[in-house]
Amino acid sequence: MEYPRTFQTNPKVLVWGESELASRLAEEIGRQHPVVWALPGEAVEQPRGITVLPNSRLIEVAGAAGCFSLQIETSGSVIRQEAGTIVVVLELELDVPAAFRTIEEADQPLTIVMVVDGVRPGVFREIAEGALTLARRGHRVFLIVDEVQVGFPDGEEIYQEARRAGVVFLKDTAVHFDGGSAACGTKQPTAGEETPAGFREFIGQKVYLDCRSLGDIGSWVIEADRLWFFSGDRVRADYRQIRKILGIAGADCQEYYPLRTRRKGILEVDPGWGEPLSPEEILAAVKTLIRSQAGEAEPVCRYEVRGELCALCFTCYRTCPHGAVSIREGAENLYGQAMFIDPRACFNCGRCYAECPARAIRLHLQPEESTKAVVLACENSGGPLLEGSGIPKLLFPCAGGIGITDMLRAWRPGIERLVVMTCRDGKCQHRDGGKRLKLRAERLNRLFRLLNNPVRIEVVQVSAQDRADEVWRRVSGL
C-alpha cells in the first residue's frame, strides 16, 4: 500500500478556551490564519475578523492534522466545523486567586497556614506570590509544601523574596488540627499523598505541625486564623471531557514538551505548568507550531503497513497513542483491507512496529558500527545526551518503538553489552513507552539465559536534563 504523496491542508485554526489568553491567541493567530474561536460561555467582546462560537460543547472529532472535522453544539444548534489545527487553552479546577481574595479586606494581621500538595509549577507560583503579598501586608504566613518549586521564570527570586518577607516554608510536615468537634485531631493528608483536587478553608483553628525534617522536637502548635489546603490542580471537568474527545487525555508531558500533545495538529496550553514562556512567547510558539504543521513534511522515519502481510488483527490500532492508524481498502490480501498509518497523524514513535505480531510494518534503520557495545535509545532523552560521545547508537523516536527484533538485530558476535536508553517513568510523551520496552527486554533476557548467552539487555532510564558525562559512564560500563 503506497502512501499519498500530497495532502490537502485546511488553513483554518480552531481555538477552544474562555480565558484572556485564549482570546489573545485567537486574535494573534487570526492575523495570519482564518480562526474560529469556540468557548463554553459568551464572548465578552468579539475580536475583529474571527468567527466566534459561543456556548459551545464539543461532541466529536474526526480526521487528522490538516483536515479535522468537528461536530459542535453551539447556542442550541449542532454544526460541523472543519479545521486544520486545534488549539485548546485549558482551565483548572483550582482557583488560587479566589482564595486570596477572601482576606483582602482584613483590617488586622492574621496568622495563615497554607498546606500545598500536588500542584504544578504554574499554580505553585500563584500561591508563592500570594503568600509574599500577604507577608508584605503584615500577615504571618506558613507555607507547608511537598516540594519547594523554583523551576519556573523568576522562581528562585520569588522564593527568596518570600523568605525575606517572613514567609516560613516547611517540608515533610504532617498537619493536624482541632475543629472543635468530635473530629478532634483529624489528620489531614500529608504532603505527597493523593488528595482531592481543590481548595478548602478552615477558620480559627489550632494547628499541630509535625515537621520530620527538624527531628524529634514534638508538635509545633500554631493558632491559625486561616487554614488553607491547596490540593491538586486538575484540569476542569468540562475540559477533561474535551481532551478525552480529542484523544489527548492521559499522561501529562507539558513540562518537557510545552504546547504539544500526543496528536499532530492539536496543541494545548496548560496553565498548570505556568508559563515556561511569557504570554508573548506562547503566542509566538503556537504560531510557529501551526506554521510547521500547515504543510506536511516527510518524517525522519517512515513506518508503513505491508498490506499483503497485514492480518487485520487491530494490534497497531489499539496500541497507537496518537490515533494515527485506520483501515484502508484495496489491500492485496485475503481481506481486501489492511491497516493504514496516516503520516499526517503519525509521530513515528514505532509502537505499532514493535507490537505487530505479523511483522507487517516496515522500517529501515541501520545501527552504527560497534565492536563492544550497542546502544538503542529514545531520541528525546538519550539522543541529546549521547551527542558527541562517540558511543555507537541507534536512535528511535520513542523507546516504546524498540522491538525485540530490533534488539536481536543489534546484537551480533563480539557484542558484550546491549544498552537500551529510555525516558524516566511518567515522562514519555507517547504514553508509557519505557514500561512496555522493559517487558520486551525481560522476555529477551529470559531467552538469552535459556541459550546460555552471556549478553543481557540493560535498560537505563535517563532524562534530557541529566549530566551527559555521567550518562556516558553508565552506558560505557565504567
C-alpha cell at 361: 510494518
Instruction: Give the CATH class of 96-231.
Output: alpha beta
Q: Which amino acid is at 263?
A: R
CA distance 142 to 115: 8
> What's the rounded Cα separation, in Å, for the pair 159 and 125?
9
Distance from C-alpha of 294 to C-alpha of 257, rounded to nearest angstrom = 19
SS3 468: helix
The terminus-to-terminus CA distance of the chain in angstroms comes to 47
In tens digits, the chain (478 residues) has pLDDT values of 444 445 567 889 999 999 888 888 888 888 888 999 999 988 777 777 899 999 999 999 998 888 899 999 998 999 999 998 899 998 887 777 777 877 877 778 999 999 888 787 878 888 999 999 999 999 999 998 877 887 666 788 899 999 999 999 988 678 887 653 222 233 343 333 344 457 888 888 888 887 765 556 667 888 999 999 887 767 888 998 999 999 887 655 555 556 778 888 888 887 776 554 556 656 666 766 666 555 444 444 578 898 889 999 999 988 888 888 888 888 888 888 999 988 878 888 888 988 899 889 988 665 444 446 788 888 777 777 777 666 777 888 888 888 887 887 787 666 777 888 888 877 777 777 778 788 888 888 887 776 667 778 888 888 766 776 677 777 666 4
Triad 293, 10, 235: Cα angle to 5°: 65
C-alpha grid cell for residue 186? 483529624
Distance of CA 121 to the CA centre of its chain: 13
The hierarchical CATH code for the domain 13-90+237-294 is: 3.50.50.60
Say whether 362 sits in a helix, a strand or coil: strand
Helix 155-164 vs helix 121-136: angle between axes, to the nearest 10 degrees?
A: 30
Q: Report the pLDDT value the prediction gives residue 96, as an integer from 0 to 100.
A: 77
Please tell me the predicted confidence (pLDDT) of residue 376. Answer: 86
> Coil, strand, or helix at residue 475?
helix
Of the candidates 106, 338, 146, 320, the residue with the CA atom closest to the CA atom of residue 230: 146
Q: What single string gives the DSSP state of each residue in 269-327?
A: E-GGG--SS-HHHHHHHHHHHHHHHHSPPPPSS--EE-TTT-----HHHHH-TTS-EEE
Antiparallel, parallel or unpaired: β 220-231 and 111-117: parallel
CATH 3.30.70.20 fits 304-362, yes or no: yes
Give pLDDT, residue 58.
96
pTM of the entire predicted model: 0.61
Q: What is the pLDDT of residue 74?
A: 93
Q: What angle do CA 389, 369, 478 make, to 5 degrees?
A: 45
Q: What is the DSSP string of 48-79?
A: TT-EEE-SEEEEEEES-TT-EEEEEEETTEEE
- Among 203, 228, 237, 230, smallest CA distance to 92 is for 237
N residues, the chain: 478
Q: How far apart are CA 52 and CA 37, in angstroms?
A: 5
How would you class 371 by CB atoms within 10 Å of its CB: exposed for 0-12, middle for 13-18, buried for 19 or more? exposed
**What count of other Cβ atoms lies within 10 Å of the Cβ of residue 373?**
18
Residues forming beta bridges with residue 68, ordered by sequence position: 83
Q: Where are the alpha helices (DSSP H) in 137-204?
A: 155-164
Q: Which residue has the cell 481498502?
A: 329
Asked whether the beta carbons of 280 and 251 are under 8 A apart, the reply is: no
pLDDT at 28: 84
CB distance 230 to 195 below 8 Å = no
Query: H or E stretch including 239?
Result: helix 237-246
